[in-house]
Amino acid sequence: MIKILLLAFMYTSLFSQLIEEPLLKKIELKYGPYAKNRFVYLNTTMEDLKGKSLETQLNTVNRFFNDVRYGMDIKVYKVSDYWATPFEFLSRDRGDCEDYVIAKYYALRYLGIPAEKMYFTYVKSTRFKAPHMVLTYFDSTSSEPLVLDNTNFKIFPASQRPDLIPIYNFNADVLFKSKKKNTQGKLKNPKTHKKWDDLMNNIKREKI
């Protein structure tokens, strides 16, 4: 049984891509060839990262998405706060801090990094004197996290980011798994976090 699952995983990894061809066509149709090329490049980058070290994967993904230009939700999406799908984020080539975190989380999950090791961390940026969000990577829950920040191209341990004050950690996958366990499998309401739930629905329907 384990052999079969392993073979299935290898097959999926070998032949599937982060962004599949039909979605690529839709993106090209809506945003043009440049947008499509960004996703092709993302696919290539992701394929290259497969089997690479964790450090390489974190750095490359962080750097890749940090190349996207910052844009406030009110300007990009005409709403005060919006969690964009990675497809929207890269297609428009613009987004705010949550969008960087989401895209990075999505790509790193694709590369096989476990969900429970990554958190959406609400922080206060003392440099900008504003609320901010970063993706934190925990080797274990008690270890010092690495901070993937769109305002800083380099990844630093949390202790080297005095400009950020942690407020709140959030990981929907962890919440969901724990909740399922604590309700003895009788979980009828899978909701965990409003923004996250909306985001998952949008990713599911490949909103671009």
Partner 1 sequence: MTLFKQIALLLSILLLTILTTVLVLNFNTATHSVQERLYEDAKNTATSLSLSLGSAKGDESIMSTMINANFDSGHYTQILLVNNADDVIYVRNTSGTLANVPTWFSNFITLDIPIASAQVSSGWNPIGILYVKSDNSYAYEELYMILTQLLISFAIIMFISLVLLYTMLHLILKPLVLIQKQAEAIMRNEFIRQENIPHTTEFRDVVKGMNQMVDKVEDIFEKGNSAMASNKDLLYKDTLTSLHNRKYMTLKLPQLIGAESKYNDGTMVFIAIKGLIELNKTLGHQKTDDLLKFISKMMLDISLDVKDSIVSRMNGTEFAILFPGVSVSSKENDFQDFYEKIIKIKEDIDNADDIDFGVDIGITSYKKNQSVAEILSRSDYALSLAKSNSKIEIYESAESKDDLALGKETYRNLFENALENDGFELAFWDVYDNKNKKTMSKIISIILEDENNSYSFGQFIAPAIELGFVSQIYIFALKKLFSMQDTLEEINYSIRLSPEFITDKNSFSALQELFELHPNNVSLTFEFPDHVVIDNLATVKGLAILIKENGYNVSIEQFAGESDDYNYLKEIKPTCIKADISYLCELIEKSAGSLASLQVMTDSIGVSIVATSVKDKKELTSLVEHGIEIIQGPIVEDIS
Interacting residues with partner 1 (CB under 8 A): 119, 121, 136, 138, 141-142, 144-145, 158, 166-171, 174-175, 178-179, 181-183, 188-189, 191-192, 194
What Cα–Cα distance (Å) separates residue 176 from each residue in 69, 102, 170, 171, 179? 32, 17, 11, 9, 5
Query: Which positions ≥6 away from 182 have C-beta within 8 Å?
Result: none
Residue 187 beta carbon to partner 1: minimum distance, rounded to whole angstroms = 8
Q: Which long-range contacts (CB under 8 A, 24 or more apart) does 63-69 make?
A: 63/153, 64/107, 65/89, 65/90, 65/100, 65/103, 65/104, 65/107, 65/150, 66/100, 66/150, 66/153, 68/93, 68/94, 68/95, 68/99, 68/100, 68/103, 69/93, 69/94
CB of 166 to partner 1, least distance (A): 5
Q: How far is the CB of 188 from partner 1 (least distance, A)?
A: 5
Task: Give 71 or 166: the residue with its C-beta nearer to partner 1.
Answer: 166
**Closest Cα partner for 141 from 117, 108, 168?**
117
The nearest distance, CB 200 to partner 1, in angstroms, is 16
Q: Which of 177, 42, 173 is nearest to 104 (CA)?
A: 42
Q: Which helix (H) or strand (E) holds 132?
A: strand 130-137
Task: In whole angstroms, give the CA distance from residue 8 to residue 15.
Answer: 11
Closest approach of Cβ 117 to partner 1, in Å? 11
Q: How far is the CB of 152 from partner 1 (least distance, A)?
A: 15
